[in-house]
Structure 1
Amino acid sequence: MKVAVIGAGATGLIAARELQSEGHRAVVFERKNQLGGTWVYDSRVEADPLSLDPSREVVISSLYFSLRTNLPRHLMGDFGLGELIRFGAEVVRVERVDSGKDQWVVESRTSEVSSEEFFEAVVVCNGHHTEPRVAFLPGIEKWPGRQVHSHNYRHPEPYQNQVVVMIGNGPSAYDISREIATVAKEVHLSSRSPDVKVSRLGNHHNIWQHSKGVPFPLTELQSKWIAGTLSGKLLLPSEEEMLAEVEAHYKQMEENGIPKHHTHFLNPFGDWLSAQVGLPPLDERLKDVFWQLVMCLILQKDGYRDEMDIDSLIRSAT
């Protein structure tokens, strides 16, 4: 089957590999001239520092100059996918062809020409980090200070001797606040209070199906499912069954007092997905390594990327 893959970031590359392994002919469209997607550093920032102006020129990368990944390299590999990728080719339209069979027309554009091509399936891997989420704060538009989304942060120097408030408490806030603190007068971290306080039930740390999972192996499992489905080896549930499961999942979250923004925390889901594609669960050693790195991030431990001997961790876990 001829399959279009939109995007040559982490997810697109994994999808292309699994499609190829299943015998499909994958064509990967990447609008930039190198692979990596949002993980490719670009010194440019957008004209609108909050990235709200729909007419702005979009900068794909959200990386700041000093960023180093906190994902262990053991979760990745090189599979020679370069020949599948069409660099500098931006997909501008995908439309289903009304021909009585599964067929899609994909219109792409390069700096020189626009073209249309037909595919039997399309896998969308264009990401979502180019559209920053901006917190709604009543009256913030009247505040005279400068507002910048972390998507447009590159270096700490512009914040020299300033008082800075960081809104949010995710990984970017950890990194950027610590870096800005080396030059700023003051740095304040601000995060929302939980809507509902949930106490543990017995000794159960997780009482719903999903918790944050190891991202790239999870993407690999999802891609295996897609490739197997397109080959006819795996069958998807009916639309009614899917909707019923989604409704049941939200109901369980509500009953357990779990806010909806935790919907896509995925951990046991990975083991469930492994079973669906006929594979053993993700190696527990890799999970342990990943979670040790996550704890270092949460505890804001300096230098953990250099101090941790991941090879020794994996050997000791055998």
Structure 2
Amino acid sequence: MEHIDVAVIDVAVIGGGQSGLATVHALLRRGLRPVVLEASDRAAGSWPHYYDSLTLFSPARYSSLPGMPFPGADRDRYPHRDEVVAYLTAYADRLDAEIRTNCRVTAVRRAGRAFEVELEGGGRLSGRAVVAASGTFGRPHRPALPGLEGYAGQVLHAADYRSPAPFTGRRVVVVGAGNSAVQIAAELAAAARVTLATRAPVKFAAQRILGRDLHFWTARTGLDAAPLGRLLARPPA
């Protein structure tokens, strides 16, 4: 039987995006030595792959990870995608932790009182704990729509959209009413004839009230930190 060396570590953090990096900061403060396992070539989450005009929904002053304020003089601006990538990269560089890039986890198994983490290519780690911080945007959901195989036009997932330029003068149907769908549809409307297809009417809420972003009001009222109880935690029927 082939012998495979298993490195022993404190905590394996799967994913080097904002959640994984914030988790590493907390673990370091508790004296643990986490190892970040990031599948891509840098610890910046999915941000490097988002569309060109994307900005954060939250102002810079409310978008910092623990221990490092988001840079820039205008604390009320909505940081651009490239700013977020630069910030996450700088944050990762400041952490006193091992960050392994191009390191994809293929399996996690309980091994006695520890967890065994299998890596693509055959490597293994044994950790006292594992944190799953891989996010939800690494594998876009592409639904199997009836008749799609016979459609002669272009079909593009939001994850592959970059800018409206290729769609200038064309007719475009955007399917969905989530944040990405509505934001992309609004941007495309300046260059193309756009139809937004949704299951229900789209409800819009003001981003700013009395000149202040929504995040200001939720922080000022304490709503962002308030326990909302079992009602909101209960899954829909």
- Give the shorter-chain TM-score range: 0.5 to 0.7
Of the candidates 13, 35, 59, which is equivalent to residue 72 of structure 1? 59
Please name the residue that 2:136 is paired with. 128
Please name the residue that 1:104 is paired with. 115
On the 8 A contact 2:35/2:100 being kept in 1, the answer is no
On the 8 A contact 2:16/2:133 being kept in 1, the answer is yes
Please name the residue that 1:188 is paired with. 195
* Superimposed CA distance per residue, residues 158-181 of structure 1 (whole angstroms, 9 cap, x where no aligned partner): 101101000001111121111111
Q: Is 2:18 the partner of 1:7?
A: no
CA distance in 2, matches of 1:77, 1:92: 25
Please name the residue that 2:228 is paired with. none
1:292-303 aligned at under 5 Å gives the runs: 298-299=204-205
Cα 1:300–1:154, aligned 2, differ >3 Å: closer, same or farther? Answer: farther
Segments of 5+ residues of structure 2 without an aligned counterpart are 1-8, 68-90, 223-237
CA distance in 2, matches of 1:33, 1:315: 35
TM-score, normalized by length of structure 2? 0.65
Root mean square deviation of aligned Cα: 3.2
* Superimposed CA distance per residue, residues 2-43 of structure 1 (whole angstroms, 9 cap, x where no aligned partner): 11001111221222223333333211122334322112x2xx
Please name the residue that 2:34 is paired with. 26
Q: Tell me: higher relative CO, structure 1 or 2? Use CA pairs within 8 A at least 6 residues apart.
A: 2
Please name the residue that 1:150 is paired with. 158
On the 8 A contact 2:39/2:102 being kept in 1, the answer is yes
Q: What is the DSSP-based 3-state SS (H/G/I as helix, E as strand, rest coil) of the residue aligned with 1:37?
A: coil
Q: Is 2:182 the partner of 1:174?
A: yes
On the 8 A contact 1:8/1:85 being kept in 2, the answer is no
On the 8 A contact 2:18/2:65 being kept in 1, the answer is no
Q: What is the DSSP-based 3-state SS (H/G/I as helix, E as strand, rest coil) of the residue aligned with 1:175?
A: helix
Cα 1:90–1:316, aligned 2, differ >3 Å: closer, same or farther? Answer: closer
Q: Which aligned segments of 4 or more residues in structure 1 are displaced greater than 4 angstroms?
A: 307-318
On the 8 A contact 1:31/1:90 being kept in 2, the answer is yes
CA distance in 2, matches of 1:131, 1:174: 20
Cα 1:131–1:117, aligned 2, differ >3 Å: closer, same or farther? Answer: closer
Total equivalences in the alignment? 185
Higher helix share: 1
Moved more, 174-183 or 137-146: 137-146
Q: Identity of aligned pairs, percent?
A: 29
Of the candidates 44, 66, 91, which is equivalent to residue 104 of structure 2? 91
On the 8 A contact 1:94/1:104 being kept in 2, the answer is no
Cα 1:311–1:126, aligned 2, differ >3 Å: closer, same or farther? Answer: closer
* Superimposed CA distance per residue, residues 129-163 of structure 1 (whole angstroms, 9 cap, x where no aligned partner): 12222344322322211110101000111101101
* Superimposed CA distance per residue, residues 109-136 of structure 1 (whole angstroms, 9 cap, x where no aligned partner): 6xxx964332112111112212222344
Q: What is the DSSP-based 3-state SS (H/G/I as helix, E as strand, rest coil) of the residue aligned with 1:298?
A: coil
Of the candidates 120, 125, 143, which is equivalent to residue 117 of structure 1? 125
On the 8 A contact 1:30/1:90 being kept in 2, the answer is yes
CA distance in 2, matches of 1:191, 1:314: 29
1:192-271 aligned at under 5 Å gives the runs: 192-193=199-200
On the 8 A contact 2:37/2:105 being kept in 1, the answer is no
Segments of 5+ residues of structure 1 without an aligned counterpart are 42-60, 195-296
CA distance in 2, matches of 1:5, 1:33: 16
